[in-house]
Amino acid sequence: MRIIVVGAGLLGLTTAYFLRRHGAEVEVIERQAGPGLETSYANGGMLHASQANPWNEPGVLWQALRMLGREDAALLIRPRALPRMLGWSWNFLRNSSLPRYLANVEKNARLADYSLTVLAEHLAPLALPFERADHGTLKIYRTAAELDTATRFAERCRAFDVRYQVMSAVEVAALEPALAPVADELSGGIHFPDDVSGDAQRFCRALAEHCAGLGVTFHYECQAQEVMMHAGAVRGVMVDGEMHRADAVVLAAASYTPALAASAGLKVPVQPVKGYSLTLPMADWRVKPRVPVIDEHYHAAVCPLGQQLRVAGTAEFAGFDTTLTPSRIRNLYDLLARIYPSESGAIDKRACVEWTGLRPMSPDGVGIMGRTAVRGLYLNSGHGHLGWTMAPGAGKLVADEIMTNRTELASADYALARFGA
C-alpha cells in the first residue's frame, strides 16, 4: 500500500513511522527544508497527561471578555482574526458546557495516557536523542482557591490513570530547589510523576532520520497543493504541479490542514492559535531548574531541556500571522523573572532564542484524526496545546486504523465525523 503523509511535524512523523512499521510504502511531503521546523520547533517540551483539559473550560467566555484588549493577557484575540473564526468560535463556546467539557477531558486524558504508553513501549526502544527527562511536571499555585480547584480536577483525572501528589510550598521547594526563593508566595503545588519532557524538534529530526533508514521517502521544500480524487476516492496529491499517486493520504499539516482538506470537499474546523517561547542557556544559573514547572497563575510553562531552559506560554488568535510581537515576548521574560527571581541577573537576552508557532486548535479541544468521509483520506491534526503529548499515540492510532482497521482506542471519538462533516 502506498501512502502519502503531508507534514513532517510531530504528528506527520509519528504517523509515517507507524505506517512504515506496518509495511506501507510511505512518502512524506514537507514544504520546509527539514522536519519539525514549524509548530513542533520550540514548544513547551512537556508530554503531560496531566494537562488534558481543553482550553474551553466552563466560564471561558467571561475569562476571554475580561482579557479583551490587554496586551499582557494570557489569551488575546486580535480583531482581524475574528471574521474567519465566527463558526469555529461558536462551536468552541458550545463545547464549554460542563458535560461537553468533561467528555472532552476524558477523550484527551485517555489519548494522552495511551500516548505515553506508546512512547514507552514503541518509541523509547529506538533510543532517539531528544533530551528526554522523567521528572514529571510540577504545577504551582499562588492562591488557596487555585490549588483547591486544581486538586479537584486532578482527582477527576485519577480515573484516567493520571497519578498526582498535592504538595505544600515547602515540599514544592524540596522537589525543585530552584523554586525555593518564591516558596513563600505559593499556596502549594501538584506533582504529576508520570509526565515526560523532551525537545520536540530534536525528536522530529531523530525520528525522521530513523524513518528514512527504514525506507520512508522524504520530499522537503515541496508544497502539497491539492488532494487529487477520482470517483469519490483519493488518487494522490498534487505537489508543486506534479501528481504523486497514493492509495491513501494523511493530512498532518497542522493549521494548514483545512485548506488541503477543502480541495477534497471536506470542512475541517482547525484554527491557528499563536504561542510564544524563549529558549535560553542555563550555564550561568546558580541553581539550575530540574523539574518542568507550570505556573497556573501566570499561565507560563518552564521546561529544562538538557543545558537549556524553555519558557512557553500565551495564546493569541491572530490568524496565520507569525511575526514576533515584542510585547508578548516581553511578557515571557517577565514571567520567567517572576518564577525564578533570584536568577534574573543570569538571563542574557542576547543568548535567548525567541520563537512563535501556531497551535492547530479544534473547537472542542480534542485532536481530529483518522478516517474521513472521503475514501482513502485521513487526518492527524488539531491537537492544539497537546500535540507533543499526543503525537506517539495519535500516530499509532491513525496508522493502525489505515493498515488494520483496528485501533486500541475508540477512533470514532477523534474522527472528523463528530462535527457532522
Ligand X SMILES: Cc1cc2nc3c(=O)[nH]c(=O)nc-3n(C[C@H](O)[C@H](O)[C@H](O)COP(=O)(O)OP(=O)(O)OC[C@H]3O[C@@H](n4cnc5c(N)ncnc54)[C@H](O)[C@@H]3O)c2cc1C
What are the residues binding ligand X (CB under 6 A)? 6-12, 29-32, 37-40, 43-47, 200, 223-224, 252-254, 256, 260, 275-277, 301, 312, 357, 359-360, 381, 383-389
The dihedral of CA 196, 202, 204, 206: what is its sign?
negative
Report residue 27 CA to chain centroid gap: 23
Name the nearest CA neighbour of 164 among 192, 136, 140, 137. Answer: 192
Contact 95, 363 (CB under 8 A): yes
**What is the CB-side half-sphere exposure of residue 342 using CA atoms within 13 A?**
12
Nearer to ligand X, 6 or 415 (CB): 6
We find the least distance from the C-beta atom of residue 145 to ligand X, in angstroms, to be: 25
Alpha-carbon distance values, 418 to 193, 243, 374 (Å): 33, 31, 15
Check: CB of residue 252 under 8 Å from CB of residue 7: yes
Closer CB to ligand X, 54 or 387, in the complex? 387
64 vs 250, beta carbon nearer ligand X: 250
Q: How far is CA 41 from CA 9, 104, 171, 359, 382, in A?
A: 8, 27, 33, 11, 17
Question: C-beta of 219: minimal distance to ligand X in Å?
Answer: 9
Kindly tell me which of 169 and 363 has the beta carbon lying closer to ligand X. Answer: 363
CB of 137: closest distance to ligand X in angstroms? Answer: 9
Residues 6+ apart with CB under 8 A from 211: 13, 16, 17, 20, 26, 28, 218
Residue closer to ligand X by CB (options 45, 188) is 45
Cell 543568548, located at residue: 351
**Least gap, CB of 204 to ligand X (angstroms):** 7
Q: How far is the CB of 170 from ligand X (least distance, A)?
A: 27
- Residue closer to ligand X (CB basis): 173 or 332: 332
Q: Which three cell numbers stand for residue 99?
A: 458535560
Tell me the closest approach of the beta carbon of residue 382 to ligand X, in angstroms.
8
